[in-house]
Amino acid sequence: MKTQGISASKMLVCKSAAVAMMVSLSGCATSSLLEGNQTPNSSAVSNSTAKQVLVEDQLVAFGRPAQPLANMPSNSVVIVGEKHSYVLTQGGPEMVNILTNLTPQNIQVDNDMTFYSPKNDGYFQGQMKLSYAKLKDEFKRSDYQFFLQNGGTECTNNSDSRIGAQRFCFTVPIKGGVYPQVSNLSLIQSKYKALTKPYPVTIYTQAQAAQVSQKGPNGAQKLVMLPFALAFDVVTFPFQLLEGVSK
């Protein structure tokens, strides 16, 4: 009988030890899983990106090159800035069509000109939002035909309605390249009234969040211009841009 008691006691001790080992292994496995779950999150944080502004410029006018530019479409549109020139390689014909076929003083720019340069290699992309408004009784059949053919959509707001006006909006996807400041900037600026508030042109890229925070506000990466970009004269459109820009 003693032998059986001892055997039973030994079996109980063995079972207890086995249970303890299983609990210990389970704890290790749980710890391993938790650590495994933390690793990707830590990696995601370290690999996250942040917006890095390359240049902040001020809008002066819209125009076109006085002479054709190498490697650029013949109908290029230029966004003239105080620091740089932004030549459109895509969206130029649409912009020319709107700016030259609609009454200039009724055109407004409806968005901040914030463009993205994925590689900071002199190229950027974004969109231009323009609107055209005037009194309803001033619209002609040809105006509505133009809107239909060029993607204009009605966007009349409450302010327009109160004065009996109608508004149509255009969104033009654009791509382009960065050039130096235009050669005849002073002459262009003399044609326009002084701005009551600045209208910014911004180009940004995406960089590692850690790098952006290390650079700080005074260590921004510099904007890269196209390697073949040279200064040129520009002829402005008959479009009093500074009178028509809206926020």
- Span 115-132, pLDDT tens digits: 999 999 999 999 999 999
Determine the average pLDDT of the residues in 181-202.
80
Confidence band of 189 (pLDDT split at 50, 70, 90): confident
For residues 55 and 27, membership in a common domain is answered with no
For residues 62 and 175, membership in a common domain is answered with yes
Residue 225 reports pLDDT greater than 90 = yes
**Separation between Cα atoms, residue 172 and residue 150, nearest integer Å:** 10
Residue 230 sits at the vertex; the CA angle it makes with 85 and 112, to the nearest 5 degrees, is: 10
For residues 152 and 223, membership in a common domain is answered with yes
Q: Which domain holds residue 2?
A: 1-47
pLDDT at 41: 52
For residues 195 and 238, membership in a common domain is answered with yes
User: Structure pTM?
Assistant: 0.72
End-to-end CA distance of the chain: 97
Q: Specify the number of domains making up the chain.
A: 2
CB contact set of 92 (below 8 Å; sequence gap of 6+): 73, 75, 76, 77, 174
**Percent of the chain, pLDDT > 70?**
70
pLDDT at 191: 77
Confidence band of 74 (pLDDT split at 50, 70, 90): confident
